[in-house]
Amino acid sequence: MGRLTEAAAAGGGASEARSAGPPPTPLPLSSTSPGCAATMASSEEDGANGGSSEAGEEREAAGKRRRLGLLATTWLTFYNIAMTAGWLVLAIAMVRFYMEKGTHVGLYKSIQKTLKFFQTFALLEIVHCLIGIVPTSVLVVGVQVSSRIFMVWLVTHSIKPIQNEESVVLFLVAWTVTEITRYSFYTFSLLDHLPYFIKWARYNFFIILYPVGVAGELLTIYAALPYVKKTGMFSIRLPNKYNVSFDYYYFLLITMVSYIPLFPQLYFHMLRQRRKVLHGEVIVEKDD
């Protein structure tokens, strides 16, 4: 649950544009592949499909974009400008709070409304995929966006005792810088005027931000475990009329464990895509 997630990440191929990505020829930056788009909210990206299926998906999406034409481009430009501005507002609010208070205690409470609004607003990225104006898998984007929302609403918002943990600041900073970079990248690409620094930042910042975001998410979930175990929140106990049980405590444990196989795979994938985009290397990935 880290969109680890940011996320942010690097990718290659025609399906660079995540749901917010720029048509018609987006550069790729994928932190999550369809096979492993599990729970990492820091993954900021774009699932990339491979080979001929990717090319077919891109051609189909391009056709839909041509039919939608100016309307789609105008909307995506507006969307990405709005999201860039939203995360910039969040960044400024975080800096001002720390400069005035000199502590991170109370930071989350002061910016939570802005964070919840813009992170939830990202659900529109699933719609972008559904209607075909962005050439990315609906499933991949759905998992990425929902994992971020899970981290915001079902962990940090719902478990108030953890809101002042330093780990919350870690993933907030990682997410904020990642999203400002990502959405500004999409905006300038849509406007056909992409500054090199924005491109460079998109394909380099993840090297630090991705591990920082993942660490923040894991430590935050870990800090939530005692409270969840004590209160039994979101858990369903037997017996009940549906004869179903669910333990949120163990669900969080499983979520944390899932980072172990996913993080290295996604991180090294992003490094390969970075070399491909910035240095023009031809990356040949072996089949498993």
Catalytic residue among 183, 210, 249, 259: 210
Contact present, 116 and 149 (Cβ < 8 Å): no
Contact 195, 135 (CB under 8 A): no
**Residue 210 annotated to the active site:** yes
User: Does residue 249 have an active-site annotation?
Assistant: no
Q: Which one from 6, 44, 217, 248 is the annotated catalytic residue?
A: 217
What's the chain's Rg over C-alpha atoms?
19
**Catalytic positions:** 210, 217
